Amino acid sequence: MSKTVQLIIDNKSYELPVVEGSENEKAIDISKLRAQTGYITLDTGYKNTGATKSGITFLDGEKGILSYRGYPIEQLAEKADFLEVCYLLIYGDLPSTKEFNAFKENITNHTLIHEDMRIFLDAYPTKAHPMGILSAAVCTLSTFYPESQKQNRSDEAVDLTIQRLLAKLPTLAAWAYKNSIGHPVNYPKNKYSYCENFLNMMFAMPAFDYEPDPVVVNALNKLLILHADHEQNCSASTVRIVGSSQANLYASISSGVSALWGPLHGGANQAVIEMLEKIMVDGGGLMKWINKAKDKDDSFRLMGFGHRVYKNFDPRAKIIKKAADDVLNKLGIVDPVLDIAKELEEVALNDDYFKSRGLYPNVDFYSGIIYRALGIPTEMFTVMFAMGRLPGWIAQWKEMMADNQPIGRPRQIYTGSKERDYSDIHKR
């Protein structure tokens, strides 16, 4: 007997079904509320509203728990290969050796971009932000593979598009970077792993040989895993709602890239470094900036702090903070910005304003420090986030399509003018 809750409106009682998840989360199913009562619910920013059931990622914001298909993020970040995690998120289970080798082989064979895309990429102004290029380039891929725009695609056709996206995003990202600094692009090489290939395309130059450093490759693999999915965040919800109109997967992913760009979402990793550098140059001490962040009349926020769901430590931030120390030590890098980040964290976590609001460092607070140590430029940080999040966006889209979910179309409460007549302009 499924549980219900009672809702009393104008002295009339309504029974609403309760939905309970595998981790005992509970929701009131309001899918028939308007038909039964004439009422809708209002929840700006969807802070209390579930958009879907999902079996992909579980997170507990109070306990700081995050798992992909039941596997704790700590284990995956420590032991898995990023492409293994892509397979897990998209297809639901960790691959066998045979499945994994076939998956890797397919992706390796699709890393090249059609040469006509070079003309498209070369047309961008130097200094073009790579996220603007990436979002447009991903959507443009759909024009090179028009069969991906058809409805009712076969599983094989969808798998091919998934492989193309996973394979080509690093190439597009590296080419967008090379374009922004006026350097010649590097082509993917099949001898390299996923992360090695990206690093080679980013940093190889005609004048010298480049060999990816294993420390850098391992750190990148870990960062991509930590960013791979995060249930119904802003960009995943964007991918779902665009996909729900039956737009093709390239267009849906392109919309996710755009949503991620915002400084309140994936753009925060770039904003954190810019904030820390500003604090370092300002020399005015940390309390000046902590107080600005607390001042309601000041638009300054502590970037990389706070989270819609985590009201305790973001488990990814813990792992990245340790990885930052490890990578900088192994590479012999001393970055004063890391010291400022640690001091800022220490001061904020002892301040009641942040503690009372459950504001802790999130995934973006330390990630930029590692990207800097890996030689990745600040404007590429959110591109790195997009590369990591791609399998999560694909998995969310695939789950929504498999569920045959209806087109997403929220309601509203109208608060504008009541009916009035048009008047000729000379009478106004």
Q: Is 364 annotated as catalytic?
A: yes
* Residues 38-62: b if buried by 16+ CB within 10 A, e if exposed: eeeeeeeeeeeebbeebebbbbeee
Report if residue 345 touches ligand SDX, rule: CB under 6 A. Answer: no
Stretch that binds ligand SDX, among 90-98, 136-144, 166-174, 301-309 (CB under 6 A): 301-309
Catalytic, out of 227, 364, 403, 421? 364
Q: Say how far apart CA 353 and CA 296 lie, in whole Å.
A: 12
Whole-number minimum distance, CB 228 to ligand SDX, in Å?
A: 9
Tell me the C-alpha distance between 35 and 257, whole Å. Answer: 36
C-beta closer to ligand SDX: residue 210 or 300: 300
Question: Which pair of tokens denotes residue 267?
Answer: 């753009």
Part of the chain binding ligand SDX (CB under 6 A), chosen from 198-206, 358-366, 375-383, 404-412: 358-366
- Tell which one of 230, 321, 372, 398 touches ligand SDX (CB under 6 A): 230
Q: How many residues bind ligand SDX, per CB under 6 A?
A: 22
Residue where the block lists tokens 């694909």: 394
Instruction: Copy the structure tokens of residue 226.
Output: 């930590």
Residue 168 or 230 having the CB closest to ligand SDX: 230
**Is 396 a residue that touches ligand SDX (CB under 6 A)?**
no
Using the rule CB under 6 A, which residue among 68, 203, 305, 381 binds ligand SDX? 305
Token pair listed for 72: 């704790």
Residue 390: CB minimum distance to ligand SDX, A:
13
Per-residue mark of binding to ligand SDX, 180-219 (x: CB under 6 A): ----------------------------------------
Q: Is 89 in the site for ligand SDX (CB under 6 A)?
A: no
**Contact present, 138 and 173 (Cβ < 8 Å):** no
Closest to ligand SDX by CB, 302 or 341: 302
What sign does the dihedral 5-9-11-13 (CA atoms) show? negative
Residue of the chain from 153, 183, 308, 330 that contacts ligand SDX (CB under 6 A): 308
Catalytic residue among 307, 325, 403, 421: 307
Provide the terminal-to-terminal Cα distance of the chain, rounded to the nearest Å: 63
Strands 57-60 and 65-68, how do they pair? Answer: antiparallel
- Determine which residue in the list 153, 301, 311, 318 makes contact with ligand SDX, applying CB under 6 A: 301
- The DSSP output letter for 338 is H
> What is the token pair recorded at 382?
């959110």
304 is a contact residue toward ligand SDX (CB under 6 A): yes
CB of 244 within 8 A of CB of 404?
no
Beta sheet of 4-9, edge-to-edge order: 4-9, 12-20, 26-28
Q: Which of residues 31-70 bind ligand SDX (CB under 6 A)?
A: 45
Pick the closer one to ligand SDX by CB: 121 or 370.
Answer: 370
Six-digit token string for 50: 């579930």
Figure out which of the listed residues 293, 320, 324, 338 binds ligand SDX, where binding follows CB under 6 A: 293
Among 214, 232, 225, 279, smallest CA distance to 88 is for 225
Binding part of the chain for ligand SDX, among 120-128, 173-181, 305-313, 337-345 by CB under 6 A, reads: 305-313
Closest of 380, 344, 19 to residue 170, by C-alpha: 380
Which residues are at the interface with ligand SDX (CB under 6 A)? 45, 230, 233, 264-266, 268, 293, 301-309, 357, 359, 362-364
Name the residues annotated as catalytic: 307, 364
